[in-house]
Chain A
Amino acid sequence: MSTDANTSTAPTTDPATTSPLLIALAWLLVGIPLAYGLWQTLVKASALFTG
Chain B
Amino acid sequence: MSRLDKQSIVAGPGYSGWLIPPAALAVHLSIGQVYAFSVFKNSLVADFDTSLTAIGWVFSLAIVMLGLSAAVLGTWVERSGPRKAMLAAALCWGTGFFVGAAGIATGQLWLLYLGYGVIGGIGLGIGYISPVSTLIKWFPDRPGLATGLAIMGFGGGALIASPLSNRLMGAFDPGFVPTEPGAVASGSALSQTFVTLGVVYTVFMLIGAALIRVPPGHGDDQTAEHSPGTNGALVRASKATRTPQFWLLWVVLFCNVTAGIGILEQAAPMIQDFFRVGGVSSISAAAAAGFVGVLSLANMIGRFVWSSLSDRIGRRGTYVMYLGVGLVLYLLLALFGSSSTFVFVALAAVIISYYGGGFATVPAYLKDLFGTLEVGAVHGRLLTAWAAAGVAGPLIVNGFLDQAGEPGSLVAADYRPALLTMAGVLAVGFVANLMIRPVSDTHFDDDAHAANEDRISDRLGATR
Contacts and interface: CB of A to CB of B under 8 A. Distances in A.
A16 B153 CA distance: 30
B153 A30 contact: yes
A13 to B, nearest CB: 8
Contacts of B9: 12
A42 B156 contact: no
Question: B215, B290, B297: which has the most chain A beta carbons within 10 Å?
Answer: B290
What DSSP secondary structure best describes chain B's contact surface? helix
Contact of B216 (A2, A18, A37): A2
A6 B217 contact: yes
Given A23-B18, A36-B160, A51 B213 contact: no
Interface residues of B, number: 60
Interface string A1-24: 110111111111111111000110
Interface stretch (B54-62, B104-112, B135-143, B442-450): B135-143
B454 interface: no
Given A7-B217, A44-B290, A45-B293, A26 B140 contact: no
A37 B294 contact: no
Interface string B287-309: 10111111011000000000000
Contacts of B7: 9, 11
B284 interface: yes
A36 B16 CA distance: 26
Contacts of B157: 37
Contacts of A13: 12
A18 B14 contact: yes
Contact of B139 (A2, A29, A33): A2
Contact of A10 (B12, B153, B292): B12
B223 interface: yes
A15 to B, nearest CB: 7
Contacts of B46: none
Interface stretch (B21-29, B115-123, B409-417): B21-29
Interface of B: 1, 7-19, 22-23, 25-26, 29, 137-141, 153, 156-164, 204, 207, 211, 213, 215-220, 223, 225, 284, 286-287, 289-294, 296-297, 341, 345, 459
14 contacts: A1-B141, A2-B139, A5-B13, A6-B216, A11-B7, A14-B12, A18-B14, A18-B15, A27-B22, A30-B26, A36-B164, A45-B294, A48-B294, A49-B287
